[in-house]
A and B are shown apart, each in its own frame.
Chain A
Amino acid sequence: DVKVTQSSRYLVKRTGEKVFLECVQDMDHENMFWYRQDPGLGLRLIYFSYDVKMKEKGDIPEGYSVSREKKERFSLILESASTNQTSMYLCASRSDRGLNYGYTFGSGTRLTVV
């Protein structure tokens, strides 16, 4: 069974802290994505990566950065957490091979910034 694993299910951080959200996939997928999920707003793309050390901004990159040093790991970084970054964060991966364009999602990390 394919897996996208997010290291934490729940996190509580203080305003101003630097926060790392980790995501690991075991499917050898080229593409990885970070979304945030908010009620009434759906899923909004923060950043994505189509290869190691490559990254592209999504729709709402402000206040975030990412790191992809290895193919299987994609980290989301909140440089200085703020209360408006309280949200559910979803990681996903997708393969370029074959005709399967579906994404595989992780279970999510619910981040609360106090």
Chain B
Amino acid sequence: AQRVTQPEKLLSVFKGAPVELKCNYSYSGSPELFWYVQYSRQRLQLLLRHISRESIKGFTADLNKGETSFHLKKPFAQEEDSAMYYCALTPQGTSGSRLTFGEGTQLTVNP
């Protein structure tokens, strides 16, 4: 079975401060991990996925297989980063398979 845990339901930082949203997973095989974001009154959208090793809107995330973590980081938070963030997992390389989400973290960036 696959499981994703986001230990913080709420996270509040000041503009310009670093931010880290934690994500831990359990899965016996090789996972593919994603971060999704939902801004107020908008649909859920893909922020980044580990296989791309890209930086989107200044966010990065590194897969740590030893710690089974995929934390999302940004060195300088902006007010427009305020949103709900979900970490998600699917088995790597399999088509048609389900995406399992964490509980979500509501990030608030204060001016």
Contact = CB atoms under 8 A, between A and B. Distances in A.
B99 A96 contact: no
A107 B43 contact: yes
Interface in B39-64: 43-46, 49
Interface string A38-81: 00111111001010000000100000000000000000000000
Nearest to B48: A102
Interface of B: 6, 9, 32, 34, 43-46, 49, 86, 90, 95-96, 98-104
What 6 A-B pairs come out closest when comparing CB atoms? Answer: A96-B95, A43-B101, A50-B96, A42-B103, A105-B44, A42-B101
Given A31-B95, A102-B46, 18 more contacts: A31-B96, A33-B98, A40-B9, A40-B104, A42-B6, A42-B86, A42-B101, A42-B102, A43-B101, A92-B99, A94-B99, A96-B96, A102-B34, A103-B99, A105-B44, A106-B43, A107-B43, A108-B43
